[in-house]
Structure 1
Amino acid sequence: MPHHTHTLTIPTSGPGMHEITRDIAAWIAGTGIRTGLLTALCRHTSASLVITENASPAVRRDMLRWLDRLAPQGVQYEHDDEGPDDMPAHLKTALTGVSLAIPIEDGAMMLGTWQGVFLVEHRAQAYRREVALHLAGE
């Protein structure tokens, strides 16, 4: 069974959700794999991956506000090595996760009609985030 790997680099400019569905789909198409399993891993502890609705931007805004309510910035955290958003970013990553497994059929991700894959940036600064992709199949 063939295996393919690739790393996507996503520049961010502060908190936000960056859709990477098309980037992943383009890479999958180039592998020639028709049926298989894609694994995606965000290689960071303060950014994450989610699958959510990609039609309405309000979904992304609501999700970011919800995460801010769950893990607000403040003096309550011992870990603040990189600033007041450091520990809240780690908590948000733990809540949303850093890896996804997506089945591939007919050379495409088996996502639902309104689903998209997003990198979620939880830090206030600009970063270059990496998402490692692994595709196994035939």
Structure 2
Amino acid sequence: MHSVEISITTGAAEAVVDLTDRCARFLADADATDGLLHVWVPHATAGLAIIETGAGSDTDLLTALRELLPGDARWRHRHGTPGHGRDHVLPAFVPPYATIPVLNGTMALGTWQSVCLVDTNIDNPVRTVRLSYLPA
């Protein structure tokens, strides 16, 4: 298995960060052929989504998460900025992992699919993402 960690700066605002190009570079560096790409976020307040980006879906996702998980005082988990408890619930809805088939060294994504880091935690501006290639 070939595996690396990368750092992603998400900043001080909610973010959906497209990792697709980084994943493709990782697979090229790993001389990938056929197998699986596993993407893992070792954080309690971030997740991964396979979605379309650039046409508003990334913003729609953040809007839906704000509606589903409001950043108010209802949460029992209260350290950090107000409403931070919602960030700890996020991985139950947007999991911290994704596994993508790799064929001939390329991710077998659909036409509009991208691999994205989803981060609603404004208290942690830098995230670690582990990329692992498991050959067939």
Query: For 1:93 and 1:69, how far apart are their aligned partners in 2?
Result: 16
| Partner deviation per Cα, 1:7-30 (whole Å, 9 max, x = no partner) | 111001120100010001001011
Q: In the alignment, is residue 123 of structure 1 matched against residue 128 of structure 2?
A: no
In the alignment, residue 33 of structure 1 is paired with which amino acid? A
Partner of 2:53: 54
Aligned-residue identity in percent: 28
**Structure 1, residues 67-124: CA drift from partner, whole Å, max 9, x if none?**
0011101221111111223211112222110000111001010000100011111112
CA distance in 2 between counterparts of 1:75 and 1:134 reads 38
Query: Alignment partner of 2:22: what SS?
Result: helix
Which structure shows the bigger proportion of residues in helix conformation? 1
4+ residue runs over 4 A deviation: none
Q: Is the CA contact (8 Å cut-off) linking 1:85 and 1:123 kept in structure 2?
A: no
TM-score, normalised with respect to structure 1: 0.92
Whichever residue aligns with residue 27 of structure 2, its letter is I
Deviation at 1:54, TM superposition (A): 2.4
- Tell me by how many angstroms 1:126 deviates: 5.0
C-alpha separation in 2, matches of 1:76 and 1:65: 18
> Contact 1:85–1:124 (CA<8 Å) still a contact in 2?
no
| Number of the residue aligned with 2:100 | 102
What does 1:1-138 align with in structure 2 at a 5 Å threshold? 3-13=1-11, 14-56=13-55, 58-137=56-135
Gaps of 5+ in 2: none
Q: CA deviation at 1:55?
A: 4.1
CA contact (8 A) 2:75 2:85 kept: yes
Contact persistence 1:5–1:135 (CA under 8 A)? yes
Q: 1:53·1:59 contact (CA, 8 Å) conserved in 2?
A: yes
Whole-Å Cα distance in 2 between the matches of residues 85 and 59 of structure 1? Answer: 24
RMSD: 1.2
Higher strand share: 1
Q: What TM-score do you get using the length of structure 2 for normalisation?
A: 0.93
How many residues in Structure 1 have an aligned counterpart in Structure 2?
Answer: 135
CA gap 1:120/1:54 in 2 versus in 1, 3 angstroms: same
